[in-house]
Structure 1
Amino acid sequence: MPFALHLLASAVFAMGTSEFMLAGLVPDIATDLDVPIGTAGLLTSAFAVGMVVGAPAMAALARRWAPRTTLIGCVVVFALCHVVGAVTPMFAALFGTRMVAAVAAAGFLAVALSTAAELAPPDRKGRALAILLSGTTIATVAGVPAGALLGTALGWRATFWAIALLCVPAALGIALGVPGRSADAAAGDFSIRFELAQLRMPRLLFAMLLGALVNGATFAVFTFLAPIVTDIAGLGDWWISAALVLFGIGSFVGVTAAGRLSDRYPGPIIAVGGPALMLGWVALALLAAHPAALLGLVFVQGALAFAVGSTLITRVLYAAAGAPAMGGSYATAALNIGAAAGPAIAAATIAAGELMPVWLAAASTGLAVVVALPLLRVLAPRDLENAR
């Protein structure tokens, strides 16, 4: 696979670290900026909303720009937002920077997904997606714990400076390693109206819906894993980081395995992995009070969730082949609609018990399985040429 994909993944690592590490910094931000902790928690929602809105908006705005220019521009804006966030004394300004940073991150991921699909051989889009998403999974394994430790040692502002610094080598690497192409070559011969019309295709909408359901389930549990570890399993606070790292390692294993298999065997991954993922959420809900079972299932579910979820997002890229500039934004939107809606719905139900997000994940995944299995040939036809 082209080395440029790994350079893109390094930027995804920085952005994923920024997105996920905020959960551990909210109490310190609330104290430092003198706002209620619930208000500080809105920073997470601001990022999620910015990601959902930013992907199609940035892809449409930049479709006639050279991809390398767009990618570098998004990384630079993302870095500058973190610099402003690191020095501002006002919560409103910090909130604004999170929104803008999310739009930049969404634009970057949308263009990066389209670029990766074009850099990779026609039948290896899944492998290219796995390399990009490895940046996110490594962020959960290494970036988030490192950010939490840095925030504890030097304060939350230090983590914002660290993210800004991580963007510098990523931008330089993209400038030097991503092939330059003309704006016309990036957009092809398709009009924006034609690319948006691809959203009428049942196969594309089907893949986006299933991707949102599965990823929504994943992020619902990931967001509220901490109280399950401490209140249900009765483990100490430091086990929260251990559980998150286990989930991250599992997700890296899952996305890597799916990257090698999802192009040739998407049907079996969905048909076998989907029900296994649903049953795994049920098992986690039933066995969460047993620490060993909980930690083992956290690893397994991380692997299954990212294997199935990334395979579904890959199907979005195949189905959106007629939208070379906008296709990446459709995949990004499917991923982040789930990332925003899953935790939001889980937050509304968690008052009924710490395990409600897990049951919600089981129900969401079960719905995806019930919808997917009868129409599997539509979602993952054996002939890849038909899928494209």
Structure 2
Amino acid sequence: MTDPRNDDAPAARVGLQLGALLGPFGGGIVAAVLPEIGTSFDVSAQAAASSLTVYLLPFAALMLVSGTLGQRWGPARTIRLAYVAYAVVTLVAAVAPWFWLFQFGRGLMGCANAFTTPLLMARLAAMTPPDRLGKALGVFGAMQAVGQTSAPLVGGLAAAASWRWAFVGIALVGAVLAAWPLPADDEDDRAATTRLRDPWRAAVLLPGLAALTAWGCLAGLSFLVAFRLQDAFGFGAGMRGLLLTGFGVAGFLGARFAGAAADRFGGRLTALGGLLAGAALVVVIGATGLAPVAVAAWAAAGVCSQLVLVAVNTTVLSGDGPGRSGAISVVQAMRFLGMAAAPAVFTAPYHADALLGFALPAAVLLATVPLAATLTRART
């Protein structure tokens, strides 16, 4: 059997990294075109905005089991079928004449994405030497940041003709990825264990909780930062959208640094730095009266989020326990559930007092510091 860490398959490695783009890109593509979607289907702005939630909730919920199921079925086969499904249901959303059918397509896009992200990460870890795992996952995180950051821009540009063309483009990308070479399934890895309960252990759930709080209290605050940019500095929608991309751009630029830090210093110190610095930056955003300081702090928070997430992912994917795909799948589900919960948790405190709205997530980040002790260096 071919060693899955053999670097003679660069195309497969590139395919795994490129796959990181698709989910965040498809999820965020509607952000800039919600008014156009509402007009097309004659629905309210609030109803159009629900297309974000309709994608995210099944995506996060299915990831609680998708990694384990994909390992059972064969990772390469599962990823390829998920890409095909993603392309098909994206076309359904693109041509849908009714809003309910568009929402149905969006929900199925989230379901299909749940069977790509964790399995891509697990296969990438399987073909990467342990002492380089942090860097590889840093690149993966950078590609996710590119997808998340570029989606509103591409969607906005496509809307000049029709928002539907953006979905057609996503479907074509899914079809290309479905045909892209992938590392062959490792039968030994499939046979190791495929029980759904295997990932539900402390060695997975504690790092997953760190991912939940870090993503919810950093990336999940984009809505709160938008409120702050409007209320404190009077920025309009276009400028707010542009400034919010600083988080993703900085995350992209800092992802390789985060990976190198995890390889050199281990997950514990890497996550500790991200949590402490992230907490300080969140407070700065809520306290400063200077717009450039708030914008710079938000961008720097993007690097902090990568420090924590790469540390968590490296720890989980280099662990000794069974079910690597299932373990990283549960962690990613917790990560996005944290992001989904942030608006419900932090909106009311912000409207009561702006500084309180940002001090509360900062306090949660500080309370997460003890969880950094559960993170380790990748095994060599």
Length-normalised TM-score, structure 2: 0.89
Match of 2:27 among 19, 23, 30: 19
1:170 aligned to 2:171? no
Number of the residue aligned with 2:277: 276
Counterpart residue number, 1:103:
111
Cα 1:80/1:219, change in 2 over 3 Å = same
**1:345 and 2:345 are equivalent in the alignment:** yes
Q: Tell me how large the CA RMSD over aligned residues is.
A: 2.4
Cα pair distance change 1:142/1:215, threshold 3 Å: same
2:140 to 132, 142, 149: 132
1:64-79 → structure 2 map (5 Å cutoff): 64-79=72-87
Q: Note closer, same or farther for the CA distance 1:317–1:123 as it changes in structure 2 (3 Å cut).
A: same
Q: Secondary structure at the match of 1:312?
A: helix
Q: Determine if contact 2:76/2:183 at 8 Å carries over to the other structure.
A: yes
Note closer, same or farther for the CA distance 1:248–1:292 as it changes in structure 2 (3 Å cut). same
Return 5+ residue gaps in structure 1 as ranges: none
CA deviations over 1:301-340 (Å, ceiling 9, x no partner): 1111222233223223234642134123123213222222
* Structure 2 Cα separation of the partners of residues 356 and 94 of structure 1: 38
**Quick one: which amino acid aligns to residue 283 of structure 1?**
V
Show the 5 A alignment for 1:1-388. Answer: 3=10, 4-151=12-159, 153-173=160-180, 176=181, 178-181=182-185, 184-192=187-195, 196-200=197-201, 202-265=202-265, 266-287=267-288, 289-319=289-319, 321-347=321-347, 349=349, 351-352=351-352, 358-369=358-369, 371-372=370-371, 376=373, 378-380=374-376, 384-385=378-379
- Tell me the amino acid that sits aligned with residue 271 of structure 2: I
Question: Do the aligned residues in 1 keep the contact of 2:93 with 2:105 (CA within 8 Å)?
Answer: yes
Deviation by residue 1:238-272 (Cα, 9 ceiling, x = unmatched): 32233133222111122221112213312221223
Cα separation, partners in 2 of 1:197 and 1:329, compared to 1, 3 Å: same
Question: AA paired with 2:276?
Answer: P
Report if the CA contact (8 A) 1:63-1:187 is conserved: yes
**Counterparts of 1:292 and 1:243, CA distance in 2:** 10
Moved more, 58-67 or 44-53: 58-67
Residues 37 and 310 of structure 1, relative CA distance in 2, 3 Å threshold? same
Deviation at 1:350, TM superposition (A): 5.2
Large movers: runs of 4+ above 4 Å: 347-351, 353-357
Contact 2:68 2:323 in 1 (8 A): no
Counterpart residue type for residue 332 of structure 1: Q
In structure 2, the CA distance between the partners of 1:123 and 1:170, relative to structure 1 (3 Å rule), is same
Asked if 1 retains the 8 angstrom alpha-carbon contact of 2:208 and 2:331, the reply is yes
Matched AA of 1:379: L
Asked whether the 8 Å contact 1:313–1:335 carries over to 2, the reply is no
How many corresponding residue pairs?
A: 371
Alpha-carbon contact 2:134-2:260 (below 8 Å) kept: yes
Does the Cα contact within 8 Å between 1:187 and 1:324 map onto a contact in 2?
no
Distance apart, 1:361 and its partner CA: 2.7
Structure 2, gaps ≥5 residues long = 1-6
Q: What is the percent sequence identity of the aligned residues?
A: 23
Q: TM-score, normalised by structure 1?
A: 0.87
Q: Is the Cα contact below 8 Å between 1:216 and 1:338 reproduced in 2?
A: yes
Q: Could you report, residue by residue, the CA deviation over 1:145-180 in whole angstroms, capped at 9, with x for unpaired residues?
A: 1222222x123212211211222332222xx2x222
SS at match of 2:318: helix
